[in-house]
């Protein structure tokens, strides 16, 4: 088993990230203390600067906020979705006992670095171009390492990491990818073609573009709308930072 608490002689500090007013934040704080840790409850940016032994992320939003803040210590996800091997909220106390007792493993999940017109973002799950108005089909192009993968008409296109392949991309017809394979999956959203393909591609050099728009196209990075995208604008995706997950016996299955 891996230790996520180092060799500290004093009690290890454990960050807690979640909605400040949520009752489960207080419950998590108590659970950390009961397991022998020193709880640090604060916003993600402050927790990143404090460098705790690991951070408990209460929910998907807290996890994504930590990723965007540049978290560089392991994270124990709680009720944050299948792709990140979450611990159910009711099992958090047991998971903390195991993590602080040295009975945990760690796994890495690679993110996308996203660049458009000099603006940068990071995606743990997926990057999406989608028409903002219903029934407005635009034309999209996908390139991998400079080669054209496909050009198609659709409501949009989603590119997911293996972590995000459990979510929107799967709902749109894509496969579930194994973490650590250095790949992503490209899936058209409501394509105009009767039989549409989807593609598994390397995650280190991808470009998305709108070739023709019949309505406003929005760029979404994970759970946030980043900006509108017009024709002749390239969205570049490359291999980004790695998120380290704390996994205990209570964590969800890898698949």
Nearest-CA neighbor of 158 among 146, 140, 145, 133?
Answer: 140
195-205 pLDDT, tens digit each? 779 999 999 99
- Structurally, the chain folds into a number of domains equal to 2
- The answer to whether residues 67 and 170 belong to one domain is no
Nearest-CA neighbor of 112 among 225, 177, 206, 199?
Answer: 206
Q: Average pLDDT, stretch 50-62?
A: 97
Using 50, 70 and 90 to split pLDDT, how confident is the model at 237?
A: very high
11-53 pLDDT, tens digit each? 899 999 998 777 899 999 999 999 999 999 999 999 999 999 9
- The answer to whether residues 95 and 139 belong to one domain is no
pLDDT at 7: 57
Given a cut of 90, is residue 241 above it in pLDDT?
Answer: yes
Nearest-CA neighbor of 42 among 87, 98, 28?
Answer: 28
pLDDT at 64: 97
- Percent of the chain scoring above 90 in pLDDT: 84
- The answer to whether residues 83 and 139 belong to one domain is no
149-184 pLDDT, tens digit each? 999 999 999 999 999 999 999 999 999 999 999 999
215-225 pLDDT, tens digit each? 789 999 999 99
Confirm whether 222 is domain-assigned: yes
- The answer to whether residues 83 and 136 belong to one domain is no
Q: Average pLDDT, stretch 72-82?
A: 95
Tallying the residues shown for the chain, one arrives at 255
More confident residue, 33 or 81: 33
Using 50, 70 and 90 to split pLDDT, how confident is the model at 192?
A: confident
**CATH number of 41's domain:** 3.40.50.10330
101-115 pLDDT, tens digit each? 999 999 999 999 999
Of 40, 70, 103, which one is at a domain's C-terminal end? 103
Of 78, 103, 128, which one is at a domain's C-terminal end? 103
Range of the domain at 75: 13-103
């Amino acid at each position: 088993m891996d230790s996520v608490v180092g060799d500290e002689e004093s009690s290890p500090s454990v960050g807690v990230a979640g909605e400040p007013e949520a009752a489960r934040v207080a419950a998590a704080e108590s659970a950390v203390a009961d397991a022998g840790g020193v709880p640090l409850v604060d916003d993600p940016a402050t927790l990143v600067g404090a460098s705790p032994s690991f951070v408990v992320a209460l929910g998907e939003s807290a996890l994504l906020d930590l990723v965007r803040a540049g978290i560089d210590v392991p994270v124990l996800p709680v009720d944050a979705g299948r792709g990140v091997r979450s611990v159910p909220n009711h099992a958090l106390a047991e998971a903390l006992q195991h993590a602080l007792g040295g009975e945990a493993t760690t796994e890495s999940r690679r993110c996308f670095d996203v660049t458009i017109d000099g603006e940068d973002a990071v995606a743990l799950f997926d990057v999406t171009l989608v028409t903002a108005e219903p029934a407005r089909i635009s034309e999209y192009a996908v390139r991998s390492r400079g080669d054209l993968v496909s050009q198609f008409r659709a409501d949009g296109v989603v590119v997911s990491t293996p972590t995000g392949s459990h979510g929107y991309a799967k709902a749109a017809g894509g496969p579930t990818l194994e973490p650590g394979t250095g790949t992503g999956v490209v899936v058209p959203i409501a394509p105009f073609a009767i039989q549409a393909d989807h593609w598994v591609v390397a995650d280190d050099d991808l470009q998305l573009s709108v070739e023709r728009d019949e309505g406003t196209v929005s760029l979404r990075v994970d759970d946030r709308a980043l900006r509108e995208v017009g024709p002749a604008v390239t969205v570049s995706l490359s291999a980004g930072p790695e998120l380290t997950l704390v996994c205990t016996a209570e964590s969800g299955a890898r698949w």
